[in-house]
Structure 1
Amino acid sequence: MSSNWFRWAPAAAVPAVVAVGLVVSGAAATPPPSPASAEQVLALLAAHRSQQFSGEVEQRTDLGLPSIPSKALGSDAAASSTAAALDLLTSAHTARVYADGPTKLRVQVMDQLAERDVVRNGTTAWTWDSSTRRATRTTLPAASGSGVTGPVSPDSMAPDTLTPDALAQRFLAAVGPSTTVTVGEPVTVAGHGAWTLVLTPRTSGTLVGSVHIAVESTTGLPLAVDVYAKGQTDPAFHVALTSLDLRAPDPSVFSFTPPAGATVTQQQLPTSSHFSHPLTPAKQQAAKAKAAKLAATGPRWDAVTVIPAARVPGDLARSPLVAQLATPVPGGRLLSTSLVNVLLTDDGRVITGAVPASTLEAAAR
């Protein structure tokens, strides 16, 4: 699935895309033979191709934030994006996933007494929230596929990266001089033997302690991803399969018609020019230097993302949930977790990263 169209899907669907895995009928519940080198596991990962499947998945977080009851998230559309993002950060989720190639996908998050869906069928995408009875239809570019690109950091996780496969690819983008890659103990995930690929940042300037990727020993498909914060023995973020069928799903699951009485919104994807602005010669030179550095060193675990005020959802700063969870700091408010920090500045910017709060405050100056 495209890593672009999901960025513009309503954020109420954010928790919907969580994880996919692999269970093959009759597979032995034994770990793979050992040893295997990191190079062998990386090659296995790079060669895997799994385009058709259906199954159930789980996602858990332990970021040091209190769990927010679903009723506290409310049904007000103006607050839906913030509420859904906090829901993802503080609550566990289970989902059903159906996929048939790069342009057909359905994810159903099963909430208590409610259901949230994200459906893609070719160039048409729908989101649906049964609790608010709101549906959004988006027309996608014909060329949008299933690639996942971009630097790694938990704050940059688009919803479509929250699958074991796509999330693993996002973290694997950091493999390079900034990362130590080793093989841990073999594990069994949902009855399948898997290698454990361990990515450890070399820098001390990140909150990420390590990332563990369970790689199915025959197919190379990532079955689970666990992200550990420094100083924590349990994963701060966990996404893994519970079951999966490798047969192609029934085509009918990719069809969606809004129920009677639903509120339907047509959403347009922003064009690439929507956010483009002419660069001064000085900024062009700085951009070239930054690109050259990234090419030489690879993505950084201690990277900081600055979101201009014009691109920050209007409901974020005034959200009572953010007011409850964020702490006043010089120049703004800080939402602090064990893995990611988010600084909401007084001038409306959002600065995030898997870095200490002091790094964000320095970037805000």
Structure 2
Amino acid sequence: MPAAAAPVVIAVGALTGSLPASAGDPLPAKTPAQVLELVGTHQVHSFSGTLEQVSELGLPELPAAGKTSAPASAGSAAAVIELLSGRHSARIYVDGKDNARVQVVDQLAERDVVRHGNDVWFYSSKDNTAEHLTLPAKTQDLMPSRDMQGTPGVPAPGDLAQQLLSKVDPTTAVTVGPDVVVAGRSAYNLVIEPRTDATLVGKVAIAVDGQTGMPLSVQVTARGADKPAFRSGFTAFSLDTPDQSLFSFTPPPGSTVKDVPVPDKSHEPADAPHPGPMANPDQLLPQLEAKAHLSVAGTGWETVVGTAAGASGSAAASLLADPLLAQAAVPVPGGRLLSTALVNVLVTDDGRMFAGMVPPEALQAAAAAAR
């Protein structure tokens, strides 16, 4: 994930989903608490499937594969915006915590992330380049996802569901709607609605597999809207153990290979805090602020993340360097605003950046308070 786009991704990373058609055979009735327990205790560690992500956030649709020769450069903020707009698909194969393969497919290019044991490969067919890193023995802080579902650009429903469920508190209403079907599997429809109008989010629907408890799809609808602005879910899903050959990767002939060093954490105190696989993001915000030079205002649905002036110049410049994004970012008091259905991003006149699922006024207030 390019560091320049981190503020946008932090704000948007939890937004995705799709609500499939109604189920045929009803599942045993469960209360919201029972469905939440089903999600929290599921034990799916081997599976494969195809994910589809559709974004209708109101962002300008940047040139991508099928419209130009290849996707946007992976080092630019435009590349992240590209992945957060339009339609994208990915194939996922997982076998335990040490074997995973994700293929993000474009019409004219493919991006792969492969983990086999401690070896991790990143490959792009766009320019036939591969990056390789070797994970240390302790990888809890590097691989926080319990299900190993996540991948840059196309977050999986399980990862997204955990982030969204972390916001369930007295300010949130949780109900169970009619059963749904995702990739041929009957699922509970867990509906989450913020009880505050200080967020752009109207409601979230998470489809929870009725047999395993694994989240299969997520949808997020903006306040006052009648259809999801961002949705992602499995269109094909299997609990069969994937073929082990999928987790072996050899760079294609002629590819450029680069070894990437892993940060040395051997000097950290033994009692240094590490995020657990089920950690609440709000509990990690102090660590996030310290390590990424970020400011955080508000909590839950009203959280605003901002970059410090010294750390955000390149981020703001990268975001506004693309002509379409620069045109979409309208002047407002104190800076320029990139507005979407679910997330707003403010680039201040002094080069800082603030993002959140909140109205523009909340971003301006956070920017003023962070001076």
TM-score range, shorter chain: 0.7 to 0.9
Asked whether the 8 Å contact 1:20–1:55 carries over to 2, the reply is no
- Judging changes above 3 Å, is the alpha-carbon distance between structure 1 residues 120 and 7 closer, same or farther for their aligned structure 2 residues? farther
SS at match of 1:186: strand
Q: Are positions 1:116 and 2:119 aligned together? A: no
Residue 137 (structure 2) aligns with: 142
- Judging changes above 3 Å, is the alpha-carbon distance between structure 1 residues 19 and 172 closer, same or farther for their aligned structure 2 residues? closer
After TM superposition, list the pairs within 5 Å mapping 1:214-363 onto structure 2. Answer: 214-270=207-263, 299-308=299-308, 309-310=310-311, 312-313=314-315, 315-363=318-366
Give percent identity, aligned residues only. 47
What amino acid is aligned across from residue 94 of structure 1 in structure 2?
Answer: S
TM-score, normalising length: structure 2: 0.76
SS at match of 2:114: strand
What amino acid is aligned across from residue 335 of structure 1 in structure 2?
Answer: L
Asked whether the 8 Å contact 1:96–1:107 carries over to 2, the reply is yes
In structure 1, C-alpha distance between the alignment counterparts of 2:40 and 2:160, rounded to whole Å:
14
TM-score, normalising length: structure 1: 0.77
Residue 280 (structure 2) aligns with: none
Asked whether the 8 Å contact 2:194–2:203 carries over to 1, the reply is yes
What amino acid is aligned across from residue 147 of structure 1 in structure 2?
Answer: P
Residue 275 (structure 2) aligns with: none
In structure 1, C-alpha distance between the alignment counterparts of 2:49 and 2:117, rounded to whole Å:
21
- Judging changes above 3 Å, is the alpha-carbon distance between structure 1 residues 256 and 317 closer, same or farther for their aligned structure 2 residues? same
Cα shift at 1:260: 2.4
Report how many aligned residue pairs link the two structures. Answer: 322
In structure 2, C-alpha distance between the alignment counterparts of 1:37 and 1:65, rounded to whole Å:
37
Residue 47 (structure 2) aligns with: 53
Q: Which segment is superposed worse, 71-80 or 311-320?
A: 71-80
What amino acid is aligned across from residue 311 of structure 2 in structure 1?
Answer: A
What amino acid is aligned across from residue 303 of structure 1 in structure 2?
Answer: T
In structure 1, C-alpha distance between the alignment counterparts of 2:199 and 2:223, rounded to whole Å:
9
Structure 2 segments unaligned to the other structure (5+ residues)? 10-14, 268-285, 290-297
Asked whether the 8 Å contact 1:20–1:165 carries over to 2, the reply is no
What amino acid is aligned across from residue 89 of structure 1 in structure 2?
Answer: L
Output the aligned Cα RMSD: 3.5
Aligned counterpart for 1:167 among listed residues 157, 160, 183: 160
In structure 2, C-alpha distance between the alignment counterparts of 1:223 and 1:232, rounded to whole Å:
23
Cα shift at 1:214: 0.6
Q: Which segment is superposed worse, 66-75 or 41-50?
A: 66-75
SS at match of 2:326: helix
In structure 1, C-alpha distance between the alignment counterparts of 2:189 and 2:72, rounded to whole Å:
41
